Amino acid sequence: MNSESSTAHAARQDGREYAGPERRRHRVYVTRNTEYHFRDGFCVAVRDRRTGEFLHGHLALRRRLRGGLRFFPSGGISANPGEPRPGEALYFDASDDRDLVTSPLERVARPNKELVAAYPSHKKRS
């Protein structure tokens, strides 16, 4: 999940591919019902796909993404400590001895600037 070590393969406006280090800090993991918004590997916002509303009390907030889990019909589980891929569930750091695993990932996207600006503040209140 270290964005500095991954390589981007995005097409540039001139049609050439950029093969340098990944510099974008934001990523959205989309499951059937929920969008998980990340900045530098930490979940900064969770949004309900049906309503478009941000979920302020979600357990994923402020947690680090650790990878993906693929569940097989036979009952087996395959762990992927790298970038989660479609079909895998997101796996977050345990917090207060509570693991968090999502439903299967449908796609990975990049949020637009307007959506990033709309992220709610998740600073702890005193």
Segment 60-111, tens digit of pLDDT: 999 999 999 999 999 999 999 989 999 999 999 877 778 899 999 999 999 9
- Separation CA 9–CA 100 (nearest Å): 30
Residue 3, domain member (yes or no): no
In 10 A of CB 78, how many CB atoms? 10
Residue 4, domain member (yes or no): no
Residue 126, domain member (yes or no): no
Evaluate the CA torsion angle 47, 34, 25, 67 in order and state its sign: positive
Residue 109, domain member (yes or no): yes
Q: Residue 54's pLDDT is what?
A: 97
Q: Residue 87's pLDDT is what?
A: 96
pTM summary value:
0.77
Structural domain total, the chain: 1
Range of the domain at 75: 26-117
Residue 15, domain member (yes or no): no
Residue 5, domain member (yes or no): no
Residue 111, domain member (yes or no): yes
Residue 14, domain member (yes or no): no
